C-alpha cells in the first residue's frame, strides 16, 4: 500500500485500512526546566529560562504579570531556545515572569519567577566608633552602622595590626563591637570596615579607645632610722595609665626640694643629705593620675650619737665685692676635740639648689666666689666628727655688692633762653640703680654745678636761671 505521512500535531501513528499513516494529538509534557527568580542591579542583566518537550516543538513566549512581554523592546531578547534576556534592567522591569509553551495540542504555563531590581549603593558608614576613655574593668561599646546595597559586611581590626582577640569580645547586631572588662592592653585605635560582598570595595572609620588604670604602688616608701648627719633615701615607685605623678609631703605639708633635700627620677627618689633632728618626720608619697590616686607613708627617725660636736656659733657673713662674700664662725661650745672639719652650706635666698663647701677645722672662715651681683645669699655651717655631723648653725643672710652702673643716656632740649631740659635713660647694663646725680657747667669753663641728686624713678629735670649765650 502507499503510505502518506502528514504532520498534523499528532503523537502516535496508526495504519488505517485506507492505507494512510496519521499522527493523533497528545498533551504536552510538564516543564523540565522552570524559570527561577532573579535579583538584578539597576542597569544590569536578567535572564529567564524554561524548557519543555512536545511534538510538534512547542513555541515559547513570556508573560510578565499575566501580560505578554513586548519583545519589540530592544532591551528584551527572546532566543530561539526560549531564553528571555533583559538588559539595562530598570525598576519597572520588576515583576512576575511566566514561560508560555503552546502548540496544536494546547497551551501550558510554567511556574512564576520573580524579577527584583535595586540600585547599587556604595558602602557608607553611617555611624562610626567614637573616641572612648574608660577605666579598667568597664565595658567598651564601639558602634559601627553601615548601609549600602548589597548590605555591606562589617569587620573590625586594630590600626597597629595586633589581633583583637576573642576573650571578652562580642559582636552586637550586625557590626557593633563590645569589649567586656577592659584592660590597659585594650587601648588602641580600632578600625571598622564596611565591605561590599564579593569585592574589595570597602569604607572605614576609626575610633581610639583609651583605658586608664588608677595609680598603684609598685614600691611604697619604707620607714628608716639614720644617725644625724648621714643621708636618708626614700624610694616610691607607682604605676598606672596614664603614668602617675608623684608628690611628697612632710608631716602633711607639701615638701619643696632645695637645700639638702633632693627629688630625682621623676620624684620617685627622695634624698635628704646631712639629716638633723628637724628632718625627723612622717613622709608621704602620693601617686595620682586622672583615674585615681593612692598614698603611702614612712617615718624618718633621726638617731643622735654620743660624742657628736655642738653647733658652730657666731656665724657672720660680709660682702667683699659684687661676686664674693666671706663667711666666718666660731667653734662649738662643746665636743670640739674630735672635729675633723666643717661644711658650709650656701644657697640663693630666693630659692634654688643648695651647695656645700668643705672647710678645714682650723680655718673657721671661707670666701665664697662666683656669686651674682646684688643678690641675697643664705649660709649655715655644720661641724663634723668621724661619728657624724652637728646640728646646723643659725642661718645668716648677706647680699653681694651691686656692680658699678654703666652711664645713662642723656638728652638735652632748650626750652627758652634761660631753661634747658635734661632727660636720661638707664642703660640695660646698669642693673638696679639707687639714684642719679646731675652735674652741669657753662661751656669752656672748668667748674661744674652740682651734684643735684634724684631718686631712681626720676628721669627728667629742668635747669633754670641760665644766662643768655
- Average pLDDT for residues 6-23, to the nearest whole number? 37
Task: Round to whole Å and give the CA distance between 341 and 118.
Answer: 98
DSSP code for 434: S
Tell me the CATH number for domain 38-118. Answer: 2.60.40.10
- Average pLDDT for residues 203-222, to the nearest whole number? 95
- Average pLDDT for residues 178-203, to the nearest whole number? 91
Look at the block and give the residue holding cell 657666731.
314
pLDDT at 10: 30
- Please report which confidence band the pLDDT of residue 67 belongs to, taking 50, 70 and 90 as the band edges: very high
pLDDT at 434: 74
Which cell is 3 given?
A: 503510505
- At residue 20, does pLDDT exceed 80? no
CB 377 within 8 A of CB 400: yes
pLDDT at 62: 95
Question: What number of H helices and E strands is found in the chain?
Answer: 0, 43
Task: Round to whole Å and give the CA distance between 454 and 462.
Answer: 13
- Please report which confidence band the pLDDT of residue 468 belongs to, taking 50, 70 and 90 as the band edges: low
Instruction: Tell me which of 35-39, 232-236, 438-442 is least confident.
Output: 438-442
pLDDT at 19: 42
- Whether the ω angle into residue 150 lies within 30 degrees of 0, i.e. cis, is yes
DSSP string, 145-191: EEEEESPPEEEEEETT-----STTEEEETTTEEEE-S--GGG-EEEE
Domain limits, CATH 2.60.40.10, in the chain = 38-118, 121-214, 225-303, 313-399
More confident site: 166 or 16: 166
* pTM for the predicted model, two decimal places: 0.49
- At residue 268, does pLDDT exceed 90? yes
Query: What are the pLDDT digits (tens) for 393-408?
Result: 999 999 998 777 778 8
**10-14, 20-24, 257-261, 427-431 — which one is most confidently predicted on average?**
257-261
**Coil/strand/helix, residue 277:** helix
Query: What are the pLDDT digits (tens) for 269-318?
Result: 999 998 888 899 999 999 999 999 999 999 999 887 677 788 999 999 99
- Average pLDDT for residues 191-195, to the nearest whole number? 94
- Which residues neighbour 345 within 8 Å (Cβ) at sequence distance 6 or greater? 259, 260, 354, 355, 356, 379, 380, 381, 382, 392
CATH homologous superfamily for the domain 313-399: Immunoglobulins (2.60.40.10)
Strand pairing category for 237-241 and 132-135: unpaired
Query: What are the pLDDT digits (tens) for 409-433?
Result: 888 888 888 889 999 887 665 556 7
Report in angstroms the alpha-carbon separations of 358 from 166, 328, 329, 364, 418. Answer: 66, 13, 14, 11, 65
φ/ψ of 377, rounded to 5, equals -125, 145
Instruction: Work out the percent of the chain whose per-residue pLDDT is above 90.
Output: 51
Query: What are the pLDDT digits (tens) for 129-170?
Result: 999 999 999 999 999 988 887 788 999 999 999 999 888 899
Query: What are the pLDDT digits (tens) for 349-393?
Result: 887 778 889 999 988 999 999 999 989 999 999 998 887 788 889
27: number of Cβ within 10 Å: 10
φ/ψ of 162, rounded to 5, equals -70, 145
pLDDT at 26: 59
Looking at the DSSP bridge assignments, the partners of residue 289 are: 292
φ/ψ of 277, rounded to 5, equals -60, -25
Instruction: Work out the percent of the chain whose per-residue pLDDT is above 70.
Output: 91
pLDDT at 366: 94
Tell me the CATH number for domain 121-214. Answer: 2.60.40.10
More confident site: 379 or 467: 379
Query: What are the pLDDT digits (tens) for 315-352?
Result: 999 999 999 999 999 999 887 888 999 999 999 988 77
Mean pLDDT of the residues in the chain: 86
Tell me the CATH number for domain 225-303. Answer: 2.60.40.10
Amino acid at each position: 500500500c502507499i503510505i502518506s505521512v502528514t504532520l498534523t500535531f499528532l503523537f502516535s501513528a496508526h495504519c488505517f485500512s485506507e492505507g494512510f499513516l496519521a499522527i493523533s494529538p497528545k498533551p504536552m509534557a510538564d516543564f523540565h526546566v522552570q524559570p527561577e527568580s532573579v535579583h538584578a542591579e539597576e542597569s544590569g542583566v536578567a535572564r529567564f529560562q524554561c524548557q519543555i518537550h512536545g511534538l510538534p516543538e512547542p513555541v515559547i513566549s513570556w508573560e510578565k504579570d499575566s501580560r505578554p512581554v513586548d519583545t519589540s523592546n530592544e532591551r528584551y531578547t527572546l532566543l530561539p531556545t526560549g531564553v528571555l534576556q533583559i538588559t539595562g534592567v530598570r525598576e519597572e522591569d520588576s515583576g512576575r515572569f511566566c514561560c508560555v509553551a503552546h502548540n496544536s495540542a494546547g497551551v501550558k504555563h510554567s511556574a512564576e519567577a520573580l524579577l527584583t531590581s535595586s540600585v547599587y549603593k556604595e558602602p557608607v558608614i553611617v555611624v562610626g566608633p567614637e573616641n572612648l576613655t574608660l577605666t579598667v574593668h568597664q565595658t567598651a561599646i564601639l558602634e559601627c552602622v553601615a548601609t549600602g546595597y548589597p548590605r555591606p559586611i562589617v569587620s573590625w581590626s586594630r590600626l597597629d595590626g595586633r589581633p583583637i582577640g576573642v576573650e571578652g569580645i562580642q559582636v552586637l547586631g550586625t557590626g557593633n563591637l563590645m569589649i567586656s572588662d577592659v584592660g590597659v592592653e585594650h587601648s588602641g585605635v580600632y578600625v571598622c570596615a564596611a565591605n561590599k560582598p564579593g569585592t574589595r570595595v570597602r569604607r572605614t572609620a576609626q575610633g581610639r579607645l583609651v583605658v586608664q588604670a588608677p595609680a598603684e604602688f609598685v614600691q611604697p616608701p619604707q620607714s628608716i632610722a639614720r644617725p644625724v648627719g648621714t643621708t636618708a633615701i626614700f624610694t616610691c615607685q607607682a604605676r598606672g595609665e596614664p603614668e602617675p605623678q608623684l608628690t611628697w609631703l612632710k608631716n602633711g605639708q607639701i615638701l619643696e626640694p632645695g637645700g639638702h633635700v633632693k627629688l630625682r627620677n621623676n620624684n620617685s627618689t627622695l634624698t635628704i643629705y646631712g639629716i638633723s633632728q628637724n628632718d625627723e618626720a612622717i613622709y608621704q608619697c602620693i601617686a595620682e593620675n586622672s583615674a585615681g590616686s593612692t598614698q603611702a607613708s614612712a617615718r624618718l627617725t633621726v638617731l643622735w650619737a654620743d660624742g657628736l660636736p655642738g653647733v658652730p656659733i657666731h656665724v657672720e657673713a660680709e660682702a667683699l665685692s659684687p661676686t664674693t662674700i666671706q663667711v666666718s664662725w666660731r667653734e662649738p661650745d662643746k665636743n670640739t676635740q674630735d672635729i675633723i672639719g666643717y661644711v658650709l652650706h650656701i644657697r640663693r635666698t630666693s630659692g634654688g639648689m643648695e651647695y656645700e663647701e668643705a672647710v678645714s677645722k682650723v680655718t673657721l672662715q671661707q670666701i665664697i666666689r662666683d656669686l651674682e651681683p646684688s643678690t641675697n645669699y643664705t649660709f649655715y655651717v655644720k661641724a663634723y666628727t668621724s661619728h657624724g655631723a652637728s646640728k646646723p648653725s643659725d642661718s645668716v643672710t648677706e647680699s653681694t655688692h651691686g656692680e658699678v652702673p654703666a652711664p645713662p643716656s642723656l638728652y638735652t632740649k632748650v626750652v627758652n633762653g634761660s631753661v634747658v631740659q635734661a632727660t636720661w635713660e638707664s642703660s640695660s647694663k646698669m642693673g638696679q640703680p639707687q639714684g642719679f646725680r646731675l652735674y652741669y657747667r657753662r661751656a669752656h669753663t672748668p667748674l661744674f654745678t652740682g651734684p643735684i641728686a634724684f631718686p631712681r624713678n626720676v628721669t627728667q629735670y629742668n635747669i633754670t636761671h641760665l644766662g643768655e649765650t
